[in-house]
Structure 1
Amino acid sequence: MNHNKDLPHQNKLKLKPKPKAVIVGGSIAGVSCAHALILAGWDIVVIEKSRKPPKGSPAGAGLALDLLSQELIGAWTGRPELLHEITSPLTIDLNQAINDEKTRKTLAREENFNHRAAHWANLHDHLFSALPPEIFLWGHLFLSFSVSNDKQSVKIKAQVLDTKETAEIEGDLLVAADGCASPIRNHYFPDVKLRYSGYCAWRGVFDFSGIEDSKTIKNVREAHPELGKCLYFDLAPGHHNILFEIPNKRLNWIWFLNQPEPRLKGNSVTMKVSDGMIQKMYQDAEKIWHPTLIQVMRETKEPFVNAIYDCDPLEQIVWDNVVLVGDAAHPTTPHCARSTNMSILDAAVLGRCLEKWGSENLIAALKEYQSIRLPVASKQVLHARQVGRIKQGLTLPDCRPFNPNTANWEECEMLQLRSVPFFGHNPLLG
């Protein structure tokens, strides 16, 4: 007997099962999508190869959240005041030239920057902690996926790392948040490769908790009097570095230097460094940077090298019921503070499109997502590539290599983050 046939129409609608999305990747792009899709009325499963959440991990580095990302995260978690507590203000974007005498001059300065600084692990924990823990499948390594013949469902296979068994998860939508080396993107674009930028970055996070009154910190604050609210860029011919403060008494620093592409293992874009490599880094840095930055570098535990890649803009980022988000959709160089912000905005736009069209119009929803995000992200990726080449003094078409010590005002204008396409007015819906 069909006990539902006499129910009112409204109650019948309530019995309709929620659509289900499987998100591959539990980094910031993945957890952001989980928030956005739950708000859009979807059930969520997140597959992540890490065996546990990175809570309390020193992994990752500093990042800058723009105003829209701050608003979106606050709406997702319902705790905007907590986001404020785990971030610190970045109200100034400052580019400076440093010469052989280690003196600086201002190239470009923006005082209404409206970003906030965060540590990757803190931001991830903030987003993750506001989600139902049961939606995560930790220790699941993505293997493959298949779309049903009628394009109505997708099946994901993953290896359970603890048991080596193969798990199968089915859903109505596959969200690929599986990073810049995305196997899912590679399925559709096997010939698309990551593009080496021509330079790598030494980077680290210096924890000065408990030594706030040390000579190192006094010197660095004297040399950088606006730390705590300023994103500092120092530029020397063929080099640039970044320095800014993040919460819990930490300084985030990055030094970009031109070099041949390193040999990397697997899909990682970071490389292990030896004590000898670190000592040589200190010696080379002393020839270029201010002594206060050298001291911060020397006192940073476990600095590492990050090879810098991006990818030429893709022709599409949706296929049937499969969608790319975050670095899977648009690997980018880090010069315009866009990678995390683009991932958060991808999630927000995807969620709003799914809510607008409903699960019965999934193809239309994904088509609109692509129409909104693809042109914006493509322009931002290419802009970040150009800015990186400018700051590193690399060649550009119809343009002499940039020299920060002789650059004119027009050349320096490109250095500002507000020169990024769509800065401050990213569309959420068409």
Structure 2
Amino acid sequence: MDGGETKVKKGTAVVVGGSIAGLSCAHALTGAGWKVMVIEKSRSPPTGTPTGAGIGLDPLSQKIIETWLGESDSLINSTLPLTIDQNQATDCEKRMNSILTRDEHFDFRAVHWSDLHSLLYNSLPDDIFLWGHRFVSFSISHDKNCVNVVTEIDESGEIVEIVGDLLVAADGCLSSIRRKFLPDFKLRYSGYCAWRGVLDFDTITDLKQAYPDLGKCLYFDLGYKTHSVLYELPRKRINWIWYINQPEPDLKGNSVTMKVSNEMIERMHEEAEKFWVPELVRVIKETKDPFLNVIYDCEPIEQLCWDELVVLVGDAAHPTTPHGLRSTNMAINDAAILGKCIEKWGSVNNLKAGLDEYQTTRLPVVSKQVLHSRQLGRVKQGLRGDFDMKMASPDDFRELQQRNMPFFLGST
């Protein structure tokens, strides 16, 4: 190049996982000038019946996504505002709610998982995705200059090898890549599970009598050693979650979602009538195919980057309970900061410096957020002995607000 300049060598990143964490990394790394390949075991992107459930996007995540998309209209059109964070107590006998704390300066937006996934996916090049490729293993070259990733094509069983300069583990809370470095790592069971679902509520005309700020409010209903979450999604849909204390279930397979029977659903419906106002009970009963998540997190790990070529992001890096609305937001922030750090250090020869900065920046943030979310869930589930709902003061109840999350306004 003129002036004796040397050309900066950009790298190739292999991202394992095509969920929102993986797509976010694809956006951030392509924006940093890197070539990206995304490996996903599903044979095609999600279409048709929506999968997943609702997500609350914090202000920083909204700005990051708008930057990736190049405009804001599509995100605004796919979301609803959550300008109020309200915690309320439910009286089981009187079947009524009373407000404990209300924050009217909340600035989140509600989106369905599948809508957010579609936004991120449709704004990426088609040729970076390897659908129907099951991650098998990886190895680092002796000189630590490249990583070799082995996949198996689901349909044919053919083995495919991919060589990259960076391996990004976006393969969820049961990450097999993380297991390579932390073979004794174990998830921590929270003590409760969550029934959840999404309902088209056009037919429920009286819902806003009990929840008048639907469409802009994140509702938390607190009962005796239990709590529920309710908020509206675009296209007249309601997202609900109900947390129930119970012994740890015996999970089968590589998933934290339990297979449920009609008998389990009927029993859940019967229990709902004992705890919640009739309007919420009706939402729960009319939801088709509710599902049951087992809630885990983990003790904060000591590092996010390994062997100078492997980095953990999203739930692979920091499984967290959902009470601080952090899981997806942390993944989006992870990706954005990873992209900025790699872009800042330029050449693939400086990858270690970029990964070191990513780890130094993110590890203190996500560690504190995981632990705060854990404590928030324990309070709302009646599992923390020093918080008595009946004796708590207004100042005590403010502890329930989302804005108490460490780094609530972001870390970038």
The question of whether the paired residues in 2 share the 8 Å contact of 1:237 and 1:393 is answered with yes
What TM-score results when the alignment is normalised by the length of structure 2? 0.97
Q: Which residue of 2 aligns with 1:132?
A: 125
1:47 deviates by: 0.3
User: For 2:31 and 2:38, how far apart are their aligned partners in 1?
Assistant: 15
Give 1:413's match in structure 2, choosing from 393, 398, 401.
Answer: 398
Cα pair 1:58 1:121 within 8 Å, conserved: yes
Q: Where does 1:215-294 land on structure 2 (aligned, <5 Å)? A: 217-294=204-281
Aligned to 1:70: 62
- Aligned equivalents of 1:191, 1:345: Cα separation in 2: 27
Q: Over residues 150-201 of structure 1, what are the superposed CA-to-partner deviations in whole Å (9 max), with x where a residue is unaligned?
A: 1110000011101101110000000000000000111111111111000001
> Cα deviations across residues 277-305 of structure 1 (Å, max 9, x unaligned)?
11110111100100101111111010111
Percent identity over the alignment is 57
Q: What is the DSSP-based 3-state SS (H/G/I as helix, E as strand, rest coil) of the residue aligned with 2:205?
A: helix
Of 18-27 and 52-61, more deviation after overlay is shown by: 52-61
Partner residue of 1:4?
none
Whole-angstrom distance in 2 between the partners of 1:232 and 1:406: 22
Q: What CA distance in whole angstroms lies between the structure 2 residues aligned with 1:11 and 1:247?
A: 51
Answer yes or no: is 1:344 the counterpart of 2:332. Answer: yes
Q: What amino acid maps onto 1:341 in structure 2? A: N
Q: CA offsets, 1:317-358, max 9 Å, x none?
A: 101110000000000000000000000000000000000011
Deviation at 1:406, TM superposition (A): 3.7
Once residues 63 and 56 of structure 1 are traced to their aligned partners in structure 2, the CA distance between those partners, rounded to angstroms, is: 19
User: Which residue of the other structure, out of 286, 289, 295, is the alignment partner of 1:308?
Assistant: 295
- Aligned pairs for 1:96-111 within 5 A: 96-100=88-92, 101-111=94-104
Residue of structure 1 aligned with 2:176, choices 168, 175, 183? 183
> Gaps spanning 5+ residues in structure 1: where?
1-6
Residues 1:427 and 2:411 are matched in the alignment: yes
CA drift of 1:403 comes to 4.0
Q: CA–CA distance in 1 between the matches of 2:73 and 2:325?
A: 22
Corresponding residue for residue 321 of structure 1: 309
Listed as ranges, the matches of 1:24-173 within 5 Å are 24-100=16-92, 101-173=94-166
Secondary structure of 1:201's counterpart equals: strand
Q: Give, in angstroms, the shift of residue 117 of structure 1.
A: 0.1
Q: SS of 2:221's equivalent?
A: strand
Q: Which deviations, in whole Å up to 9, do the C-alpha atoms of 1:348-374 show, x marking residues without a partner?
A: 000000000112210010000000000
Which position in structure 2 is the counterpart of 1:380?
369
TM normalised by structure 1 equals: 0.93
How many residues of Structure 1 are paired with residues of Structure 2 in the alignment? 409
Provide the rounded CA distance (Å) in 2 between the counterparts of 1:196 and 1:345.
25
Q: Indicate yes or no: 2:295 matched with 1:297.
A: no
Deviations 1:354-406 (A, max 9, x none): 000112210010000000000000000000000000000013xxx42x44344
Determine if contact 1:235/1:404 at 8 Å carries over to the other structure: no
Compute the displacement of 1:12 (Å): 6.5
Q: Is the 8 A contact 1:98 1:405 kept in 2?
A: no
Contact 1:236 1:404 in 2 (8 A): no
CA distance in 1: counterparts of 2:48 and 2:79, whole angstroms: 15
Q: Evaluate the alpha carbon distance shift between residue 55 and residue 80 of structure 1 in structure 2; reply closer, same or farther with a 3 A threshold.
A: farther
Question: C-alpha offsets along residues 233-258 of structure 1, whole Å, 9 cap, x if unaligned?
Answer: 00011000000000111000000010
Q: CA deviation at 1:218?
A: 1.9
